[in-house]
Amino acid sequence: MSINLTILGCHSATPRVNAHPTSQFLNINNRTFLIDCGEGTQVQLRKYKLPFSKIQCIFISHLHGDHYFGLIGLISTFMLHKRTQQLHIYGPKGIKEVILLQLKLSKTWINFGLYFHELTSKSSELIYEDEKVEVHTIPLKHRVYTNGYLFKEKEGLRKINMAKIIKNDEIETCDYRNLQLGKDFEKKDGSFLKNEELTLAPTPIKSYAFCSDTMYNESIVPIIKNCDLLYHETTFLKDKKELAKTTMHATAFEAGTIAKLAMVKKLIIGHFSSRYPNLNDFKQEAQEVFENTALAGAGKEFVV
């Protein structure tokens, strides 16, 4: 299992009893991330019994309340639970000021390393990288500076082809690591066995693209091309296409179009306006152009 995504909230604007604002819990290649942190996020984390103490990084798309108002509460809870692990927060310029001001005025002193990585670039950039995962921004078009995020596994080691290995007595277990790293094998007589003759390609990398509040924007297509899983906001149906443009949001049809153009494997839609009583209308509209579409919903889990 490479990607495990749990939706904590997927509705727009104000939280309601059964409609929670945007937040997602992502595990990719054994890295644990939180994406957006609307009001009540920590309650949702507890409700679905998710190990929120393992969250290493939080990625905030933009500074509208339904995407980050739960952040200060979560940070405070980490403090009360005596967290010692560092916490890294990625988000628009201003996220550090607003959080530190709240901590200062409430005289809340945290006992763990809290690091802010403020974003200003309007071009896609690599913002997080370790030996297993990398994260790139997806510049979006909204009323304020906004980014989506592309989470990608790094390519793993090549696989040992034992059917070929056993035919070569000179190859020992201690040679396997070099073969996994892609190196050719040098025989005693000085000749070489090509790596591709002894190994198999590594497991294909998996990727997840999160596209928060945005109007229809084809410029993101090259960034999210061929990703395994795409979340794209769909605040409106196409009956409100003009309102979507005015408020710089997207329709379900437009989200489906982006998924089709990017040739993604699966589309998840969310950020639904409360004006629509039947969410299946969103799914049906997106499926007019992209069949493999699923509705987001609190507690829903998506696995790649």
Closest CA to 37 of 13, 65, 61, 71: 71
Residue 195 · residue 182 · CB < 8 Å: yes
Q: Is residue 66 annotated as a catalytic residue, yes or no?
A: yes
d(CA 61, CA 299): 21
What's the rounded mean pLDDT across residues 269-278?
95
Sorted by sequence, the CB contacts under 8 Å of residue 264 that are 6+ apart come out as 209, 224, 226, 227, 228, 229, 230
Distance of CA 230 to the CA centre of its chain: 9
Name the CATH architecture for the domain at 3-156+203-303.
4-Layer Sandwich (3.60)
First to last CA, the chain: 6
Percent of the chain with pLDDT over 90: 81
pLDDT for 1 beyond 80? no
pLDDT, tens digit (0-9, with 9 covering 90-100), for 77-97? 999 999 999 999 999 999 999
Tally DSSP H helices, then E strands, for the chain: 11, 18
What's the rounded mean pLDDT across residues 41-64?
97
Percent of the chain with pLDDT over 70: 100
This prediction's pTM: 0.92
Q: Residues spanned by CATH 3.60.15.10 within the chain?
A: 3-156+203-303
Instruction: Kindly name the residue from 66, 130, 175, 213 that is annotated as catalytic.
Output: 66
d(CA 224, CA 219): 10
Sign of CA dihedral 257, 261, 266, 271: negative
Strand 229-233 relative to strand 192-193: parallel, antiparallel, unpaired?
A: unpaired
Query: What pLDDT is recorded for position 75?
Result: 97
**Confidence band for 179, pLDDT divided at 50, 70 and 90:** confident
Query: What pLDDT is recorded for position 203?
Result: 86
Query: What pLDDT is recorded for position 157?
Result: 85
Average pLDDT of the residues of the chain: 95
Sign of CA dihedral 156, 162, 167, 170: positive
